[in-house]
Chains A and B, each alone.
Chain A
Amino acid sequence: MNSYLFRIGSKTSGFLRSTQFVRSYSKHVKSESYKKALEDVETQVAESPCILYMKGIPERPECGFSNTAVRILQAEGAVFTSYNVLKNNDMREAVKEFGDWPTIPQLYVKGQFIGGADILMGLYKSGELSKLLNEAGVVKKDE
Chain B
Amino acid sequence: MIRNLINGQLFKTSIETVKVRYFVVNNNNNNNNNNGGGEPIKNTIIEKLSNQFKPIHLDVVNESYMHSVPRGSETHFKVIIVSDIFNGKSVVAQHRLINDTLKNEMKNGVHALSIHCSTPDKWDESTISPSPGCMGGSKKEKQQKQQKDEK
Contact = CB atoms under 8 A, between A and B. Distances in A.
B104 A101 contact: no
Interface string B96-129: 1001000110111000111110000000000101
Interface residues of B, number: 26
B136 A15 contact: no
A103 B103 contact: no
A10 interface: no
Given A12-B103, A119-B92, A103 B127 contact: no
B70 interface: no
- Residue from A12, A24, A61, A121 whose CB has the most chain B CB atoms within 10 Å: A121
Task: Name the interface size band of chain A.
Answer: 20 to 34
Contacts of A3: none
B139 to A, nearest CB: 10
Contacts of A114: 92
Contacts of B107: 15, 18, 20-21, 24-25
B96 A100 contact: yes
Given A15-B104, A18-B107, A18-B108, A101 B99 contact: yes
B108 A65 contact: no
Given A21-B108, A102-B106, A56 B135 contact: yes
B113 A20 contact: no
Contact of B135 (A18, A63, A101, A103): A63
A117 B129 CA distance: 11
Interface in A87-116: 100-103, 113-116
A44 interface: no
Interface in B75-104: 91-92, 95-96, 99, 103-104
A102 B103 contact: yes
Interface string A114-132: 1111110111010000000
A126 B115 CA distance: 17
B132 A118 contact: no
B147 interface: no
B56 interface: no
Contact of A15 (B91, B103, B127): B103
Given A67-B132, A102-B99, A122 B91 contact: yes
Interface of A: 12, 15, 18, 20-21, 24-25, 55-56, 61-68, 86, 100-103, 113-119, 121-123, 125
